[in-house]
Amino acid sequence: MKYSPIRYSQEEMLKRSEAFLNKMQNRRSVRHFSSDEVPIEAVRNCIAAAGTAPSGAHKQPWTFCIVTDPEIRKKIRAAAEEEEYKNYHGRMSEEWMKDLEPFGTDHIKPFIENAPGLIIVFRHAYGTDESGRTTNYYVNESVGIAVGMLLTALHEIGLVALTHTPSPMKFLAEILNRPDNERAYLNIPFGFPADNCEVPNLNRKILPEILKEY
Ligand code: IYR
């Protein structure tokens, strides 16, 4: 099948790369959400955009669950806080606890209930068809790329998000009744930042630190 994507002039490419970089420099993880309503159809489009990600043998080994139901969120929060309590009270190393200090995180996760919604991402450890189990390839890489595209899409429409990693997160598949081949990958609360929202004053590595040219 023939493929002819748009071809920009070199000057236009530079201009677009600078504009995109500026836009992405403004993306931040947010832990405090407002209750402002979010256009859910726009979030569905962001998920469809994530679903355009490349994947091993094009198996598309992902499921994205949008969760807004208060009862389900209550269950997820209770289970997440139970695990996180254990993490913050003995399961995480001293070094880990110290590394997290600038972010002011603890086991209490109000955003699970008060963000306008959650996108819970599942990776497919294997696939299924009429004959039984099928193999998926590079599942972590594939789902990681799709999530990167999802975060970019959410940022593009002016939403903020958090990549929340409750651990262990087996409870997510149980609460959402996902099939056996699906393993929770990330919980992504999304919405608008709260009025008084603050984020840690982080420095990003500069380009020479992350880019080596050969
Ligand atoms: N999963 C825990 C701890 C945590 C770990 C890392 I690495 C972070 O960058 C942030 C939090 C939690 O969600 O609080």
Domain extents in the chain: 40-192
**Distance from C-alpha of 107 to C-alpha of 84, rounded to nearest angstrom:** 5
For residue 121, what are its two tokens?
């991402």
Q: At 148, is the pLDDT very low, low, confident or very high (cuts 50, 70, 90)?
A: very high
- pLDDT, tens digit, 9 for 90 and up, residues 90-145: 999 999 999 999 999 999 999 999 999 999 999 999 999 999 999 999 999 999 99
Which of 29, 88, 105, 172 has most ligand 1 atoms within 8 Å of CB, for mutation? 105
Residue type, 159: L
pLDDT tens figures, 14-59: 999 999 999 999 999 999 999 999 999 999 999 999 999 999 999 9
- Helix, strand, coil percentages (3-state) for the chain, rounded to 5, are 45, 15, 40
Per-residue exposure over 116-149, b if at least 16 CB sit within 10 Å of its own CB, e if not: bbbbbbbbbeebeeeeeeeebeebeebbbbbbeb
**Ligand 1: centre distance to CA 74 (Å):** 20
Query: Which residues fall within 8 angstroms of residue 201, CB to CB, at 6 or more apart?
Result: none
Q: Tokens 């269950």 sit at which residue?
A: 75
Q: What tokens appear for 190 in the block?
A: 């999304």
Instruction: Check if 87 has its Cβ closer than 6 Å to any atom of ligand 1.
Output: yes
**Fold observed for domain 40-192:** NADH Oxidase (3.40.109)
